[in-house]
Amino acid sequence: MQISFSRLDDTIARFVLRGATPAFANTLRRTMIGEVPTLAIDDVFIYDNNSALFDEIVAHRLGLVPLRTDLDEYVMRDTCSCGGEGCSGCTAIYTLSVEGPKMVYSSDLIPQDPQAAPVVDNIPLVKLEKEQKVVLEARAVLGKGISHAKWQPTLACGYKEYPIITVDKKCDGCAMCVDECPRGVLEVVKDSVRVVEGKLEDCSLCRLCERICKSEGTWDEPAIHITQDATRFIFVVESDGSLSVKEIVERALREIRSKSESLVDVLSDISGGNGNDEI
């Protein structure tokens, strides 16, 4: 199995996974979305709120604010040495104290740990009129997207099979498929259609080129064929900024590996002992 990145920024990555099965590609995608932990506000203590929004709506909005997460600093609350009571090792605390008239933004959340500040400052939370105020304390903990979407570290996270475009010799270069392609993948060179250099991965597999060739041409089968390679996958992963994309991919792979190793350990114990024992 091979992985090669064509783009790797802090918030977006594009890579090709070669020699994989669709099952493994889907496991990687689902793990990145649902099983890589990130910080999100989970408990809110509201001391004062006479804004137009109910306490529950304010708390819900706070929960959806992406927070910068250092996974080496924080551990999941249920595995923390504090026994789940909440300590600096598993909980990030924020305070919010604002008085109207004012639009309250995520930048008004004051983090106790500056490393766990909101990712962006301009997320609107609530609009306050004159003499309205909100005073609260919020606590963020690590969680996984499988429990609630607020703990998903990814925005867009998906893959497609690698496109394979073949053009038959009967192609007369009429260029109708070139005009039809919404991604500009095709071009006409010397009375025949070919893929523009470096644009093959942009093909969305929509098959509009096949359809126009079949309907407008004089033949029963189109001169251009779009197929997919089921062992190569083009991934696009976007982060919400809480973790870098590279960390998301690495953490997901480590999660899959740790599950496999844990299963091997448990089953090895059984094969060595009495196989009918319950674990």
Three-state secondary structure call for residue 44: strand
Query: Binding of another protein at residue 30 (CB under 8 A)?
Result: yes
Nearer to another protein, 122 or 271 (CB): 271
Q: Which of 2, 97, 166, 227 lies at the binding interface for another protein (CB under 8 A)?
A: 2
- Tokens for 15, please give them: 């890579």
Q: Which of 7, 10, 24, 240 lies at the binding interface for another protein (CB under 8 A)?
A: 24
Report the interhelical angle of 22-34 vs 245-272 (nearest 10°).
Answer: 110
Smallest gap from Cβ 278 to another protein, in A, equals 6
Q: How far apart are CA 199 and CA 121, in angstroms?
A: 36
Q: Which of 1, 198, 215, 273 lies at the binding interface for another protein (CB under 8 A)?
A: 1
Query: Binding of another protein at residue 82 (CB under 8 A)?
Result: no
Smallest gap from Cβ 256 to another protein, in A, equals 5
Q: How many CB atoms lie within 10 A of CB 245?
A: 25
Q: How far apart are CA 178 and CA 62, in angstroms?
A: 48
DSSP string of 54-90, one letter each residue: -HHHHHHHHHTS-B---TTT---GGGSTTTTS--TTT
Q: Considering only residues 123 through 162, tell me which ones interact with another protein, judged by CB under 8 A.
A: 146
Q: Interface with another protein by CB under 8 A: which range of 23-31, 124-132, 160-168, 231-239?
A: 23-31
DSSP string of 158-211, one letter each residue: EEEEEEEEEE-TT-----HHHHH-TT--EEEETTEEEEPTT-GGG-----HHHH
Query: Binding of another protein at residue 107 (CB under 8 A)?
Result: no
Q: Which of 9, 21, 101, 221 lies at the binding interface for another protein (CB under 8 A)?
A: 21
Radius of gyration of the chain (CA): 26
Nearer to another protein, 172 or 269 (CB): 269
Total binding residues toward another protein, as defined by CB under 8 A: 41
Give Cα separations from 240 to 114, 150, 244 (angstroms): 18, 10, 9
Q: Considering only residues 240 through 279, tell me which ones interact with another protein, judged by CB under 8 A.
A: 246, 249-250, 253-254, 256-257, 259-264, 266-268, 270-271, 275-279
Which single residue is written with the structure tokens 């793990």?
31
Which positions touch another protein (CB under 8 A)?
1-5, 8, 17, 20-21, 23-24, 26-27, 30-31, 34-35, 146, 246, 249-250, 253-254, 256-257, 259-264, 266-268, 270-271, 275-279
